[in-house]
Chain A
Amino acid sequence: MKRIGIDVGGTNTDAVLIEDGKVVRAVKAPTSEDVTTGILDSLKSLGATGVLAAKRIDGVMIGTTHFINAVIQRRHLTKVAALRLGMPASASLPPFCDWPEDLADLVRGGVWMVEGGHEYDGRLFMPLDEAAVTQAAQQMKAKRLRSVAISAIFSPLDPGHEKRAAELVAAVLPDATITCSSDLGRIGLLERENAGLLNAALADLARDTIAAFEKAIADSGIAAPLYITQNDGTVAEAHQARRLPVYSFASGATNSMRGAAYLSGLADAMVIDVGGTTTDVGQLKHGFPREANSVVKVGGVRTLFRMPDLLSIGLGGGSHVSLDPLKVGPLSVGYRLLRDGIAFGGRQLTTTDVAVASGRLALGDKAKVAHLGAATCEKVFAEAARMAEEAIDRMKTEAGDVPLIAVGGGAFLIPDKLAGVSQVIHVEHGDCANAVGAAIAQVSGECDQIFKDMARPDAIAAAQGIANDRAVAAGADRKTLSTIESEDMPLAYLPGNSVRVRVRVVGDVAAS
């Protein structure tokens, strides 16, 4: 089994080659403006285009920040036709009603609301007004809209109306890209619809970006399928990611944590990922990051994405250091570290300078930081350790000491002993943990549904069956599936022992 993992970050494109469970080679290259060049460069320096190209590579897994950056920077977005099936309910809160105005103005191509939708128990809320859907599609055509987002009340329980409306729209607009909110799961109409609208807004960018990735791989001479990593630490085949780019919004942090689990061999541990500017602390459960269950805002839009629960603090390898009074971070020189740090001839004292002075790192010119005495260095390190300890303590969910895996380029700031930590684990290739996490990613399936008048174990089993089928449809090998999350929530004020069950399963990528 041979896989390449690539993390396309804002500054660097990291790439690793993993063969039979071992990291064979890891490289960093600057991220390029046109994407393709940066990936091609990293593949070249990985050696993948040379001797390895002849051998079989089983998959190239890419993690990217393109999609989330497009939303945050309001660039490369497609105008969207919003079609909601739920009238007469929800009329006072139409699609885009809680978006930041500037983003809504860019994305809103038109809003149509027609009768339709279901109740929590699967009964019809209103019959689907098919004539109104067709009429809406004709108006979309007149406005030259090509990307359509369809949402319906309780569609995670019964996607029938969304799917039927998609057929009706496709009959009028055969070339349109159509996003159904039920493909994005989760109960909560506005948040699910928002995810659908963002997805539809990324339609053109997803097509172009994934085409660029495919070109880079083809140009490098590698004949391997392309996978895109998702927010939850799993991958989707390229065609799936092209259809649902929102699932690949924020894979960077997840990939780092998954990479940390892999490199250390631990499935349950805390992870501290020390970058240049910030440090993320999270918790691994069964090899996956514990997820945030709350509303996540992306570019100011409320969504219910599967995102890791992370605490970020302003500590990193580029953090500003002032000595009197002692303060580390939150300001950072960021990607200018090799220019602005004192050890590199700059004028800003950073944590990296302190590490060079103390001998923890062999970088830059040690003579330039010779004025920093051993006692001073120790004080700075102690402050960084205290900041890390506090963050770890806040994220811990158990009382005893836990193992901690330290990864990222700034991991030198994490000492071997910390309060509340049983063991600090530094791993080889820890600075490329994100690319490692991409390389080892699996495929997932999820079910989040309400079950009525069913015994709890039956409801959980039913949810598991749905999640399994979805994982297989997404490219997983059924024999390797395992459940990594299962939670059930009895519901208040609903009759008939209603229970909401959420199950997530993962499995290895099926051999093609």
Chain B
Amino acid sequence: MKLRELSLDDIESLAVGAWVLGTGGGGNPYLPLLNMRALYRDGHRVQLMDSADLADDDWVGTVANMGAPLVGQERLTDSLTLARAVTVMERHLGKRFSALMSMEIGGANGVRPFMAAAHLARPVVDSDTMGRAYPEAQMTSVAVGDLTPHPLTAVDVRGFESIVHKVPTWKWVERVGRKICVEYGSVAATCQPPRTGAEVKKWGIHGTTTKAIAIGEAVRRAQRRHDDPIAAILAVEPGRLLFKGKVLDVARRATEGFLRGIVRFDGLDDWRGSAMTINFQNEWIVAWRDEQPLAMTPDLICVLDSVSGEAVGSETIRYGQRVTVIALKAPPIFLTPRGLDHVGPRAFGYDLDFRSVFDS
């Protein structure tokens, strides 16, 4: 098995790239990054491995935090608690994980598996189950693959440990898990339903940590050289420049626990005189150019700060900000009919037939 030890610089890049892949949600990876800096200062190191090197009967633990980003801003995020979510799962299963994996490469959860891995001395598989960020547990490749949706462990920093032992569907693991999380104070460290090596190889979205590092590296290099960071991203990742402009208006409302809303943009430079609106549900869902749908989920819509190239989140975007909108390609599994059922525009309540921006 080939392992690649990540440098702290790789992790700095991962944090920037994971935030870009967060497509507006997933939470800013700043606090996980601070944890990783502290862990590296204390001598911990983490290893990345390719999913192809997993044995079919290996067990893989999928790590993620659940909850409101705002609560995370107060309680911060703690590496030992994440590690405990994993060990609680191992104790429950009576099996040892040979590796950990990310549930959601986009946003803070793109970095969190490494926080657990640093304490548990396990490699992290270079795969995840979203290829970006999505708001709910059924919006994953493993749910599209109809893999077993239980058990789930959820732990709190004060020592609480909960196990969702059995549920019929991924929507149910989301519902019951969310209730536990709310009782904890709207944040919980979780180990998602365990996967075998064979399942990860078949249903995982591969190479996403490497991809996030490459995007982050491109942005950081461009910042150092005062180059255009957007062009730098598009040079390392097949994508499309959709719009440059500034935020005219942000309307937000919370429904069913999600942050939904619309951002309106007014064009700058080559897009002067043109308008864009983007609907969001935590993540950017549909982008409209001059009232025509231009890009939609599962294509990744990324709103970036035009100067720094860093991602702008739906919770913090504000009027007057100068941004560039790009699209990146969706993981192929989400482009299948089953995939679109889970994460296509209709899964978010938009009566639109999916049309990829890359097909136009």
Which residues in A have some Cβ–Cβ distance to B below 8 Å?
A: 86, 88-93, 97-98, 117, 119-120, 123, 125-126, 153-154, 187-190, 283, 290, 293-294, 309, 393-395, 397-399, 450, 489-495, 497-500
CB of B74 within 8 A of CB of A492, answer no
B 166-187 to A, binary, CB cutoff 8 A, 1 in contact else 0: 0000000000001001100110
A153 interface neighbour in B74, B248, B266, Cβ under 8 Å: B74
Which 7 interchain pairs have the tightest Cβ spacing? Answer: A490-B254, A492-B259, A493-B68, A90-B76, A89-B75, A119-B185, A293-B318
Q: Which of B242-262 contact A (CB under 8 A)?
A: 246-248, 252-254, 257-259
CB of B246 within 8 A of CB of A93, answer no
B246 interface neighbour in A98, A394, A491, Cβ under 8 Å: A394
Q: Which of B305-327 contact A (CB under 8 A)?
A: 315-316, 318-320, 322
Complex formed: what's the CA distance from A90 to B257 in Å? 25
Closest to B272 in A: A393
CB of A397 within 8 A of CB of B75, answer no
Least Cβ distance of A108 to chain B in Å?
Answer: 15
Least Cβ distance of B184 to chain A in Å?
Answer: 9
Least Cβ distance of B80 to chain A in Å?
Answer: 7
CB of B68 within 8 A of CB of A91, answer no
A494 interface neighbour in B68, B73, B75, Cβ under 8 Å: B68
Interface membership of B31, Cβ < 8 A = yes
Q: Which of B137-161 contact A (CB under 8 A)?
A: 157-159
28 pairs of residues in contact across A and B, judged by CB atoms under 8 Å = A89-B76, A90-B75, A91-B78, A92-B35, A92-B80, A93-B35, A93-B76, A117-B74, A120-B71, A120-B186, A187-B70, A187-B73, A189-B73, A190-B73, A190-B76, A293-B316, A294-B316, A394-B268, A399-B266, A489-B252, A489-B315, A490-B253, A491-B68, A491-B259, A492-B254, A493-B68, A494-B257, A495-B182
Binding site of A, secondary structure by majority: helix, strand, loop or mixed? loop
Least Cβ distance of B206 to chain A in Å?
Answer: 29
Complex formed: what's the CA distance from A423 to B80 in Å? 60
Complex formed: what's the CA distance from A188 to B258 in Å? 20
CB of A290 within 8 A of CB of B320, answer yes
Q: Which of B188-225 contact A (CB under 8 A)?
A: none
Interface membership of B79, Cβ < 8 A = yes
* Chain A hits for B69, CB < 8 A: 492-493
Interface membership of B347, Cβ < 8 A = no
Least Cβ distance of A452 to chain B in Å?
Answer: 11
CB of B74 within 8 A of CB of A494, answer no
* Chain B hits for A93, CB < 8 A: 31, 34-35, 38, 76-78
Q: Given known contacts A90-B76, A93-B35, A97-B34, what 20 new A-B pairs fall within 8 Å (CB)? A: A88-B158, A90-B78, A92-B35, A92-B79, A93-B77, A120-B71, A120-B185, A189-B74, A190-B73, A393-B268, A395-B320, A397-B247, A397-B248, A491-B68, A491-B259, A492-B70, A493-B67, A494-B71, A494-B257, A495-B182
Complex formed: what's the CA distance from A162 to B187 in Å? 23
Closest to A489 in B: B252
CB of A188 within 8 A of CB of B74, answer yes
User: What class of interface size applies to chain B in its complex with A?
Assistant: 35 or more
CB of B318 within 8 A of CB of A126, answer no
A492 interface neighbour in B68, B79, B320, Cβ under 8 Å: B68
Least Cβ distance of B280 to chain A in Å?
Answer: 10
* Chain A hits for B185, CB < 8 A: 119-120, 123, 125
* Chain B hits for A491, CB < 8 A: 68, 70, 254, 259
Interface membership of B282, Cβ < 8 A = yes
Least Cβ distance of A491 to chain B in Å?
Answer: 6
B74 interface neighbour in A154, A283, A490, Cβ under 8 Å: A154
Given A190-B76, A283-B320; A492-B34 close (CB under 8 Å): no
Complex formed: what's the CA distance from A210 to B133 in Å? 50
CB of B34 within 8 A of CB of A500, answer no
Given A397-B246, A494-B186, A498-B254; A97-B38 close (CB under 8 Å): yes
* Chain A hits for B322, CB < 8 A: 394
* Chain A hits for B315, CB < 8 A: 489, 492
CB of A187 within 8 A of CB of B74, answer yes
CB of A89 within 8 A of CB of B254, answer no
* Chain A hits for B35, CB < 8 A: 92-93
Complex formed: what's the CA distance from A202 to B67 in Å? 36
Given A120-B71, A120-B74, A283-B320; A493-B258 close (CB under 8 Å): yes
* Chain A hits for B38, CB < 8 A: 92-93, 97
CB of B75 within 8 A of CB of A86, answer yes
Q: Which of B264-283 contact A (CB under 8 A)?
A: 266, 268, 282
* Chain B hits for A187, CB < 8 A: 70, 73-74
A493 interface neighbour in B186, B318, B319, Cβ under 8 Å: B186
Complex formed: what's the CA distance from A294 to B266 in Å? 21
CB of A397 within 8 A of CB of B320, answer yes
B 34-46 to A, binary, CB cutoff 8 A, 1 in contact else 0: 1100100000000
B 281-292 to A, binary, CB cutoff 8 A, 1 in contact else 0: 010000000000
Complex formed: what's the CA distance from A125 to B67 in Å? 16
The CB with the most chain A CB atoms within 10 A, among B74, B157, B252, is that of B74
CB of A497 within 8 A of CB of B320, answer no
Least Cβ distance of B336 to chain A in Å?
Answer: 28
Complex formed: what's the CA distance from A497 to B77 in Å? 24
Closest to B68 in A: A493
Closest to B115 in A: A92
* Chain A hits for B159, CB < 8 A: 88
Q: Which of B19-73 contact A (CB under 8 A)?
A: 31, 34-35, 38, 67-71, 73
CB of A495 within 8 A of CB of B158, answer no
* Chain B hits for A190, CB < 8 A: 31, 73, 76
* Chain B hits for A98, CB < 8 A: 34
* Chain A hits for B70, CB < 8 A: 120, 187, 450, 491-492, 494, 500
* Chain B hits for A89, CB < 8 A: 75-76, 78, 157-158
* Chain B hits for A293, CB < 8 A: 316, 318
Least Cβ distance of B356 to chain A in Å?
Answer: 27
Given A120-B70, A120-B71; A493-B257 close (CB under 8 Å): yes
* Chain A hits for B158, CB < 8 A: 88-89, 125-126
Complex formed: what's the CA distance from A498 to B185 in Å? 13
CB of B252 within 8 A of CB of A495, answer no
